[in-house]
Structure 1
């Protein structure tokens, strides 16, 4: 069955080639790559067009104005016709066996979503840390911390329907919460993807990210204040713990 891969693109001419190549090199070949250009002003569109000429499974969609990352993803999701939907950003890459391993895991477990471990790297490609995936992630698990990195997630849209992203901070986390209301996600512990951490990335703005997380719990999921606070404490603890482990790993390299 076909996998629709959702890729938002904005002024990413320096990195998008590697991301596209990691899709082309998948061992599972029944896919379409829907790249929505979000009004780029560099050579991003030219690079995508060149890949299109080589592979008809690559589709270029264009927003007529800058809609942001959620808007670009939503354009691609709208036109996706695969049985499964997966996500990849233009500065990240997949291992060649990613789709094959996750489709098999979903089939074997009878679940309709999957995630995997991944490696966090800086802009030079140097390894910062390896994140090992939890074997099964439930809705309750996801309330306590973000257990699914968007670049590793895939879900069965034939069974669950399509999930569009809201234009809010941590839009992917909020989307995966809605998915996990309908299904658990089966995890592949080993790393199947590479996530690039840059100085300008959302993940580096810790206080802003924390506020977004609480807003989702309180305003989007609409938990009572005491429950939102309870789950936010888990998030805060896990975030600090993860960064401390990463710093210790770098010290003792």
Structure 2
């Protein structure tokens, strides 16, 4: 088990957290990886932090976009640069346990799975556990992701040799969901590990923190990108709203 894993990390003004994210990759027990960090023109000290790691470890690779273009284009650029047999995704404020890559790659190989995710736990901005674990499902198909998307972005890994590379749909929010839907048009299921293999940081100013604002992005995803009917799109948004309300309660 020595395949190169390309880790895709778009970033923007994440200097407060990105060092901890990079450290969690460097500490991995699986060592054959490359971490491709694409900076969407940060205005803080993100560039200096990432470049300091890149100088110390040539597996960390920094790429700066020419202009601010959004996470979707940054993620697509990183995937385009990637040269690994597998692609894994890690947002620039999330954290992996040290055996994440080894355990997930073993899970994929043992079961001949091409597209997988894992359970994860939530932490606050200071990295303190919120005692909430987001479970995943054994397997989820296209319709399952449309309805509730039980997939944490920083838990996903897929076999790029078998499934190829993708262009992330250019939508400001929910572009990760849109990417999973693209992949599920080629691979029937995303398989979930019950292992908790990621810490997801809840940030007060997160782009995904405003649930009401997310409705219009779901509508755009369903209607403009996935070309669903008005009735089906409205039904999916209602279902999504109910699921989110129940989770909050």
Q: Smaller-chain TM-score range?
A: over 0.9
The CA distance in 1 between the partners of 2:185 and 2:169, in whole Å, is 17
Q: Deviations over 1:19-68 (max 9, x none)?
A: 00011111211110011122223222221121112211111111111112
**TM-score normalised according to structure 1 size:** 0.91
Structure 2 residue 227 is matched with structure 1 residue 219: no
Structure 2 residue 135 is matched with structure 1 residue 140: no
The CA distance in 2 between the partners of 1:108 and 1:182, in whole Å, is 21
* 1:93 aligned partner: 95
Number of aligned residue pairs: 244
Q: Name stretches of at least 5 consecutive residues in structure 2 with no aligned partner.
A: none
The CA distance in 1 between the partners of 2:211 and 2:31, in whole Å, is 38
- 3-state SS, counterpart of residue 208 of structure 2: helix
* 2:201 aligned partner: 196
Q: Deviations over 1:77-104 (max 9, x none)?
A: 1111111111111111111121112112
Q: Is the 8 A contact 2:135 2:150 kept in 1?
A: no
Which one has a larger percent helix, Structure 1 or Structure 2?
Answer: 1
Q: Name stretches of at least 5 consecutive residues in structure 1 with no aligned partner.
A: 245-253
Q: Is the 8 A contact 1:36 1:63 kept in 2?
A: yes
- 3-state SS, counterpart of residue 28 of structure 1: coil
The CA distance in 1 between the partners of 2:12 and 2:219, in whole Å, is 28
* 1:61 aligned partner: 63
* 1:181 aligned partner: 185
Aligned-pair CA distance for 1:6:
0.8
The CA distance in 1 between the partners of 2:143 and 2:41, in whole Å, is 38
The CA distance in 2 between the partners of 1:15 and 1:152, in whole Å, is 18
Moved more, 88-97 or 103-112: 103-112
Structure 2 residue 226 is matched with structure 1 residue 235: no
The CA distance in 1 between the partners of 2:80 and 2:161, in whole Å, is 14
Q: Is the 8 A contact 1:197 1:203 kept in 2?
A: no
Pairing 1:22-33 to 2, within 5 Å after superposition:
22-33=24-35
Q: Is the 8 A contact 1:105 1:186 kept in 2?
A: no
The CA distance in 2 between the partners of 1:45 and 1:202, in whole Å, is 21
The CA distance in 1 between the partners of 2:106 and 2:238, in whole Å, is 35
The CA distance in 2 between the partners of 1:22 and 1:193, in whole Å, is 10
